[in-house]
Structure 1
Amino acid sequence: MITAIVSIQVEPSRIPEVAAAVVDLPGISRVWSVTGDVDLIAVAEVRRHEDLAEVIADRLSKVEGILDTTTNIAFKTYSSQDLDVAFDLGNDS
């Protein structure tokens, strides 16, 4: 599974509508409204890179109200459980 985190800048008055439209797109699993440099963050999960291009370039970027996007592809996922196990390795105390 390929996971991408998409930072999205939106016309300020359209944030709720854009978030609702983005989360309904096939391939998008979650959308958060956030503070900071961007307005929304979306998580795309697809099987192939070609699918990611379709989700981002062909669907998401065409949602009315989106001004700009930046996409980051995840290499590896870390969870608190993964980190707890990693720090316990070799710890005999």
Structure 2
Amino acid sequence: MATAIVLLKIDHNKVTGTAEKLLEIPDITEVYSISGRYDLLVMIKCDQIDKIESIVTDQLLKTDGIVDSETMFAFRSYDKREGGRAISVD
């Protein structure tokens, strides 16, 4: 499964509303309010990596309140529930 992590800077008056709106987008599985340079961390998981590009550019980044973003792709997951073994995310 293709996985992307998107870090977002949000207009500080719109953090909660933006987070709630992002959860309405299919394939966005989690949204976290975080500390640091960014305000929200968004997890996208879907069957095809090409679909992530469409989700990010055509839907996510058009959401009101987003000021800046950084997108990262996950290559491998290390899950404690899997005994620390590496799990492919492709």
* TM-aligned CA deviation for residue 82 of structure 1: 3.0
Higher share of residues assigned helix: 1
One-letter code of the match for 2:64? Answer: E
Q: Does 1:6 align with 2:6?
A: yes
For structure 1, the residue ranges without an aligned partner over 5 or more in a row are 87-93
Q: What is the aligned partner in structure 2 of residue 82 from structure 1?
A: 83
User: Which residue identity lines up with residue 83 of structure 2 in the other structure?
Assistant: D
TM-score (norm 2): 0.88
Percent identity at matched positions? 28
Structure 2 match to 1:89: none
Distance 1:72 1:17 in 2: 23
Query: Structure 1 segments of 4 or more deviating over 4 A?
Result: none
Letter in 2 for 1:73: F
Higher strand share: 2
Does the alignment pair 1:64 with 2:64? yes
How many residue pairs end up in the alignment?
85
Separation in 2, partners of 1:25, 1:68: 18
RMSD: 1.4
2:17 aligned residue: 17
Which consecutive residues of structure 2, in runs of 5 or more, have no partner in the other structure?
A: none
